[in-house]
Amino acid sequence: MKKRLIFVNNNLHSGGIQKSLLSLLSHIKDQYAVTLLLMSDTGEYKAQLSKGIQVLHCSPILRILGMSQKELWRENRLLFCIRSLFAALCRITGNSLLLRILSHAQKRLGPYDVAISCMHSEPPRVFYGGTNEIVLYRIRAAKKIAMVHADVLHNGSCTAATGKLYGQFDQIIACSKGCREQFVKAFPDLRDRVSVVSNFHRFHEIRALASQNPVAYPRDQIHVITVARLSKEKGIERALDAVRACVDAGIPIQYHIVGDGAGRQALQKRAAQLGLAGRVTFYGMQQNPYRFMKQADLFLLPSYHEAAPLVFTEAKCLGVPILATRTASVQEMILDDRAGWVCENTTAAIVHSLQEICFHREALQEKREGLSLKTYHNGEAIRQWNAVMKEQEI
């Protein structure tokens, strides 16, 4: 009989956690009896969910944790008001008690062999998450696992309450070695429970999509691309400053930004203030970002903090060198793989590094040629996953 696994996530909107989860499920669906419990059935990635996976939906009230304020305003004004109230309470009392209370709206499920929470805990004043609480308090399972896709030491979630919550899990899975190191620094008492399972990717799909009408950039310029959620932690305003500095230095640079988010309007305003009209293009959310990436000269991610961005591996498998700020996993994902450059996490360092790279285009070509000789696959991630499942044998 196949081992019964249940994964709990908020939704199937575009995002790193969702993308990695769907890739993982596509690899294990035939090996296990898999159930996916969602707070909301919304999301651009719904069509990518593999067949053969049972999908369950949480209690309707828990949609407030699986949908954005904008979505709730369109769909259900009452839930919008409830979410707004809880968000305000979080800013006063923190989210620990509220999420635990809300989790009890979910009927008990089980028994399962292994229950897996796909979302890490958020900072106390953020009304988001809840999958950890549902797995711990509302699912009957022989073993319970929490996934961590964040630098908990720097994202604001390193609190005593969070450590106590993670301490109730049998095992914690970090998405990279760097992510694990940060988690262990934050919660050293849990060191022996933390394993690494690298993010899964659908490499054949990435390459196929990249070849579908790829954007052809004029070769008399240097084309830099960022694919990211347009939010504060991504630091994209610092990239705009770096592009302005490159223009002032006479570098023929074009900056392409693929993605959307709450910060888009402010970033567009900043680009205009810097006089970058004609140098910066905002494409918004794209179903196929890979066609924009394939022929770019450099991938730039100027984040303040990151765990293990899927887009690093996506860029590498498309042969695009990377410049990134120093965050949790850049050593293993970029430097050890000789896939690009890492600079200190300051605006001045981003400016200096981008100018140096653009002034030495032969180095870009060398990196691209080196990446073209490599083959990326999920072999190590599969080995790591199987090791974790073997530890959870009952």
- Residue 15 pLDDT: 85
Same domain? For 334 and 383 the reply is no
Give the chain's end-to-end CA distance (angstroms, integer): 13
Same domain? For 245 and 359 the reply is yes
Same domain? For 220 and 362 the reply is yes
**CA nearest to 117, candidates 265, 17, 192:** 17
C-alpha distance from residue 300 to each of 121, 160, 224, 280, 324 (Å)? 27, 35, 7, 13, 6
CA 18 to chain centre: 8
Same domain? For 248 and 196 the reply is no
Q: What is the H or E stretch that residue 174 is in?
A: strand 171-174
Same domain? For 140 and 237 the reply is no
Sign of CA dihedral 150, 97, 192, 23: negative
Same domain? For 196 and 214 the reply is no
Q: Are the CB atoms for 139 and 8 separated by under 8 Å?
A: yes
User: Going by C-beta distance under 8 Å and a sequence separation of 6 or more, which residues neighbour residue 81?
Assistant: none
Q: Which residue, chain included where needed, has tokens 């100027």?
A: 302
**CA nearest to 42, candidates 55, 29, 53:** 55
Q: What Rg, from alpha-carbon coordinates, does the chain have? A: 21
Q: Are the CB atoms for 146 and 172 separated by under 8 Å?
A: yes
Same domain? For 28 and 49 the reply is yes
**CA nearest to 58, candidates 10, 98, 22:** 10
Same domain? For 219 and 335 the reply is yes
Alpha carbons within 13 A on the beta-carbon side of 267: 29
Same domain? For 99 and 118 the reply is yes
- 25: domain range? 4-200+378-391
- Residue 47 pLDDT: 86
Listed as ranges, residues in the chain with pLDDT below 70 are 393-394
- Residue 43 pLDDT: 84
Number of domains in the chain: 2
- Residue 20 pLDDT: 94
Q: Are the CB atoms for 153 and 174 separated by under 8 Å?
A: no
Same domain? For 195 and 207 the reply is no
Same domain? For 207 and 194 the reply is no
**pTM (whole model) above 0.85:** yes
* Helices and strands (H, E) in the chain, number of each type: 17, 13
Residue type, 193: R
Q: Is 265 exposed, middle or buried (0-12, 13-18, 19+ CB in 10 A)?
A: exposed
Distance CA 342, CA 349 (A): 9
Q: Which residue, chain included where needed, has tokens 């990134």?
A: 324
Q: Which residue, chain included where needed, has tokens 């949908």?
A: 67
Same domain? For 11 and 33 the reply is yes
Residue 324, number of CB atoms within 10 A of its CB: 28
- Residue 62 pLDDT: 94
Q: Name the pairing type of β-strands 194-196 and 171-174.
A: parallel
Distance CA 360, CA 337 (A): 20
User: Going by C-beta distance under 8 Å and a sequence separation of 6 or more, which residues neighbour residue 84?
Assistant: 69
The CATH number of the domain where 140 resides is what? Answer: 3.40.50.2000
